[in-house]
């Protein structure tokens, strides 16, 4: 099986080394000093028990790598949108595309029946760029649980976790899903197959949509955000709004809000990915974690005052610092059915 990791950063690089170690034919798309280090010395993964270095073909230009059986997109949502057209040289007639990303994916409504079938999310795929360039029929959904970081160019540190949630958007079993799960397992990672991967996407998103922006706004670590009464209460209210949206869309939450927050608190003094990006001056992943949830709230006629407030604050903070990636105006008009916003109903004031 030929697998290309598009975005061989912390998560993509971890997957690349593990898959290569499992005997797969792996290539990497990377850039900058990280790419040059990989070309010169290979890609090194440092775990708590060992250090592994693997040599793999690596390039900034996908045309150098050719068509693949599987392409794993391990970019942030705004980066994946920008790179959508560049993936084409990697795509053969039967190439599967695994979206190993956080947040609401651009293909979310593909494979669903009823009123929401094939709706497009403007917040994460304006202009239907990924929908048209990649095609939702290629997608295998993926949730990412390992924590990793690039410590220096060409070197990735594995902090904890080895599980990946996997599932077909149409909720069907498939040979390609089975084969990819077997490849993940052969690499020493743990695939978990879901009949509806959206359930797992929401479980991961449930924490990310509140803990990430709150930590970025307050500079507090995860244990503080999840235990200090004010921020814990805010996170809880955001999660309840999100749960209402998800359940209207048919999602099943396998744990309750308090257990999810307590689980986050138990991770300890972890700096969320958004806080790390803020500290390093990197663009913040906002729309896939919050903007899309707000958009889906409008679609399902769900009021989201807590999500709206935090989204507005983190958007403004990121914009002031030049860290909010925005889409060009011409991208905001798409071809497919969009999730149109609805008017918020005015709240009635209680009699005093």
- What is the reported pTM? 0.91
Mean pLDDT split into 10-residue runs, the chain, 352 residues: 97 98 97 97 97 98 98 95 96 98 96 92 95 97 94 95 97 96 97 97 96 98 96 98 97 95 92 93 95 97 98 97 80 56 36 30
Tokens read off for 160 = 């904890």
**Burial class of residue 142 (count of CB atoms within 10 Å of its CB; 0-12, 13-18, 19+):** buried
4-17 in b/e burial notation, b at 16+ Cβ within 10 A? bbbbbbbbbbbbbb
- Residue 348 is predicted with a pLDDT of 33
DSSP sequence for 297-318: HHHTT---HHHHHHHHHHHHHH
In the residue annotation, 2 being an active-site residue is answered as no
Tokens read off for 68 = 């693949």
Four-CA torsion 127, 128, 130, 135, nearest 10 degrees:
-160
- Residue 345 is predicted with a pLDDT of 34
Tokens read off for 296 = 């889906």
Which is catalytic among the residues 204, 248, 280, 321? 204
Q: How far apart are CA 266 and CA 207, in angstroms?
A: 13
Place of tokens 């709230």: 297
- Helix residue spans in the chain (DSSP H): 10-21, 32-41, 77-83, 129-133, 175-186, 197-218, 222-227, 229-248, 257-267, 273-279, 292-299, 305-320
């Amino acid at each position: 099986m030929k697998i290309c990791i598009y975005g061989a950063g912390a998560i993509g690089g971890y997957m690349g080394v593990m898959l290569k170690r499992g005997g797969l034919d792996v290539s990497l798309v990377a850039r900058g000093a990280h790419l040059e280090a990989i070309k010169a010395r290979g890609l090194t993964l440092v775990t708590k028990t060992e250090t592994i270095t693997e040599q793999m073909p690596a390039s900034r230009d996908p045309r150098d790598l050719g068509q693949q059986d599987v392409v794993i997109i391990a970019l942030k949502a705004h980066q994946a949108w920008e790179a959508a057209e560049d993936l084409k040289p990697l795509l053969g007639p039967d190439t599967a595309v695994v979206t190993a990303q956080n947040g609401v994916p651009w293909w979310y409504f593909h494979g669903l029946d009823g009123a929401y079938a094939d709706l497009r999310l403007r917040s994460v795929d304006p202009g239907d760029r990924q929908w048209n360039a990649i095609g939702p029929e290629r997608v295998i959904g993926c949730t990412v649980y390992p924590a990793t970081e690039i410590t220096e160019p060409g070197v990735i540190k594995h902090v904890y976790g080895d599980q990946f949630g996997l599932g077909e958007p149409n909720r069907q079993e498939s040979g390609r899903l089975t084969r990819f799960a077997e490849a993940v397992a052969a690499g020493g990672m743990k695939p978990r197959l879901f009949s509806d991967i959206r359930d797992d996407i929401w479980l991961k998103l449930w924490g990310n949509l509140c803990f990430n922006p709150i930590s970025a706004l307050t500079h507090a670590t995860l244990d503080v955000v999840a235990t200090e009464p004010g921020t814990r209460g805010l996170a809880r209210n955001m999660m309840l709004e999100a749960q209402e949206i998800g359940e209207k869309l048919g999602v099943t939450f396998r744990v309750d809000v308090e257990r999810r927050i307590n689980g986050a608190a138990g991770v300890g003094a972890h700096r969320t990915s958004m806080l790390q990006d803020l500290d390093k001056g990197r663009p913040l992943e906002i729309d896939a974690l919050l903007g899309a949830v707000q958009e889906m709230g409008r679609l399902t006629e769900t009021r989201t005052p807590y999500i709206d407030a935090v989204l507005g604050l983190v958007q403004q903070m990121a914009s002031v610092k030049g860290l909010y990636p925005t889409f060009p105006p011409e991208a905001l008009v798409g071809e497919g059915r969009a999730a149109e916003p609805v008017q918020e109903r005015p709240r009635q004031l209680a009699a005093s």
